[in-house]
Amino acid sequence: MSACLGCRGRGVVRGALLVAASLLLGAGTLLALALQTHPGLAGSEPLANPAQARQALGAKLAGSITDHEVKQFTLTAQDLAMAASLAIARKRLPAQAQVSFHDHLIDGQVSLAWPPGFSSLFLNIRLLVDTGSGQFELQRLRIGDLVLPNGLVRLLLRLPPLTRYAQLAEDMVASVGIEDDRLRLVVHWNREVLGELRGLLMDVADKRRLLVYQERLTDILERRGEHLYVRLTSLLPPLFQLAQQRSQEGADPVEENRAALVVLSAYANGKDLSSMLGTGRQPPPRRVLLNKRVDTAKHFLGAASMAMSGQGTLVEMIGLAKELHDTHDGSGFSFIDLAADEAGALLGKTAVRSPEKARRLQALLNQPIAESQFLPELKDLPESMHSEEFGRRFKGIGSPEYEAMRSEIAARIRALPLYREY
């Protein structure tokens, strides 16, 4: 009897080893198909000047046609390749990107050394997108020698969190088409769509962790009594004291920082998290101030939240597009708002850059702190400039005058105590 049990046990072990070997073999096969020994874009060069690329894209945004809550962009294949290259450059990856148009098809290719730092293997990605229906429809996705069937790609896009990104893209894109070798993209540009975009960022923070910070924020505000406004500098220390305490107890400091800033950003921007977090307790409504202004706090914390999810380029594009829109239809172009965006984005990146950086930030923010430690001097920055004044003073996006102002803002931010070691 025991001998049979021993045989049966050895059989189970052999079976488990066979399954494990099969899985490893399958994974190895997929990896071999995905990675190649040559770059898919031989002869192409990585993005040489990211700043110049941002200027070019900024000029495209400046030239967009705005009609109330709809914006139209006209982009070349080179513009799309430049946008892809900018995203790659953000991750400090040695890679090339190339885009071409064929009738109503977009053919996009990316080639990067993988793993980063090695030059013997390459991850070559190629996708074909059809715009003939007036929407983006993925026709083919190839990774190395591995071609993913359309059915599998559609299935993957229905999985969380990709399904929300796919739905957001569907909601934002009003129409798309290729004419005269130009991509004409019409997007819905309203508060609801942009609010949904920011809402996606909450998926990257654990809901239970978010609830802890939501409860602490509610406690803080309830103790402050009936006040219409609250300074951001009154909210940061107690939340980051909690982040430091939980990190010292074994929690991930990066995720603690992320949750604290996501909760603060949602609150400052008027987004109620209580239903999403499954609690009936809401923080009392107050208007959060930074630089004695509500809009500065919204810009700063919104940018921090987006940058934590790796959307630094998107922060720049949304912030710049909003200011360009305001030169025509809103309160006017504001370098103050752009400075708040850039400072907030750097705070977000610093908060989650590494466990060491996360702990350092907790140590700096868990005590009384002045705005001057994380927000540059803003009083002398131009704002409320409508198109005529903006054109007279700065000519346009990418001009020497404009870039000088952006460089001045960047220098001020980098000199702040919170970011000196970023």
Residues 6+ apart with CB under 8 A from 86: 47, 50, 53, 54, 57, 313
Residue with tokens 């602490």: 216
Summarize pLDDT for 82-101 with one digit per residue, the tens. Answer: 777 776 765 556 678 899 99
Low-confidence ranges of the chain (pLDDT < 70): 1-35, 42-69, 87, 89-94, 114-120, 156-165, 168, 189-205, 309-332, 384, 387, 396-398, 421-422
- Give the integer Cα–Cα distance in Å for 110 and 101: 15
Predicted TM-score (pTM) of this structure? 0.54
Virtual torsion, Cα 250, 254, 255, 257, nearest 10 deg: 110
Separation of alpha carbons 114 and 123, rounded Å: 6
Paired tokens of 381: 């920055």
pLDDT tens sequence across 17-62: 444 444 444 444 455 556 677 777 765 555 556 556 655 655 555 5
Q: 3-state DSSP call for residue 317? A: helix
Please provide residue 231's backbone torsions phi and psi, each rounded to the nearest 5 degrees. -75, 145
Residue 118: which residues within 8 A CB-CB, separation 6 or more? none
End-to-end CA distance of the chain: 67
